Amino acid sequence: MAAGLGIVPDVARLLELAFPLIFWRISSFSARLALMVVASVLFGHSGVAWAADPHAPSAQQLSAVLATQAHDEDDTAPDVAPDSPRASVQHFLEQCSAGHWESASTYLELSKADTKRGVALAEELCAVLNRKLRPDADDLSPLAAGRKDDGLPAGTDEVGRIPTSAGVKAPVRIVRRDAREGEEARWIFSQSTVARVDDWYDALGDRWIRRVMPPALLREGPRGFLYWQLLASPLLLGVAVMLGRLLSRLIVGLLSRIARKPRTRATIVDARGALSMLFSVALLRAALPWAGFYLTAYDLVTRALSAGVVLGAAWLTIVASRTFAGVMRDRAGETPGRTALIGLGQRAARAALILIGVLWAISEFGYQVSSLVAGLGIGGIAVALAAQKTLENLFGSVAILADQPFRIGELVRVDGTEGVVESIGLRSTRIRTFDRTVVVIPNGKLADMKVESFGTRDRFRLQLKVDLRASNDPKAIVRFLAELREKVAERPAISEEDRLVFGQRLAMGVLEVELSGYVKAENLAEFYEEREGVALLALTLAKSHGLSLAERIELKV
Q: Is 490 a residue whose pLDDT tops 80? A: yes
CA quadruple 442, 448, 449, 450: dihedral sign: positive
Q: In sequence order, what are the beta bridge partners of 419?
A: 412, 433
Q: Which amino acid is at 355?
A: L
The answer for residues whose C-beta is within 8 angstroms of residue 118's C-beta and 6 or more apart is 102, 105, 106, 108, 110
Instruction: Quote the pLDDT of residue 442.
Output: 86
User: pTM higher than 0.85, yes or no?
Assistant: no
The more confident residue out of 234 and 29 is 234
Q: What percent of the chain has pLDDT over 70?
A: 73
Q: In 365-404, where does DSSP find H-type helix?
A: 369-386, 388-403
pLDDT at 519: 84
Of 48-52, 183-187, 328-332, 530-534, which range is least confident?
48-52
Task: Give the lowest-confidence range in 88-97, 126-135, 206-215, 330-339.
Answer: 330-339
On the question of pLDDT at 354 being above 70, the answer is yes
Average pLDDT over residues 10-27: 40
Task: Say which residue, 333 or 361, is predicted with more confidence.
Answer: 361
Mean pLDDT over the full length of the chain: 75
Interatomic CA distance for residues 470 and 506, integer angstroms: 8
In single-letter form, the type of residue at position 108 comes to: L
Say if residues 40 and 20 touch (Cβ distance below 8 Å): yes
Q: Give the domains, in start order, of the chain with CATH numbers.
A: 1-52+226-386 (no CATH), 59-219 (no CATH), 405-453 (2.30.30.60), 459-556 (3.30.70.100)
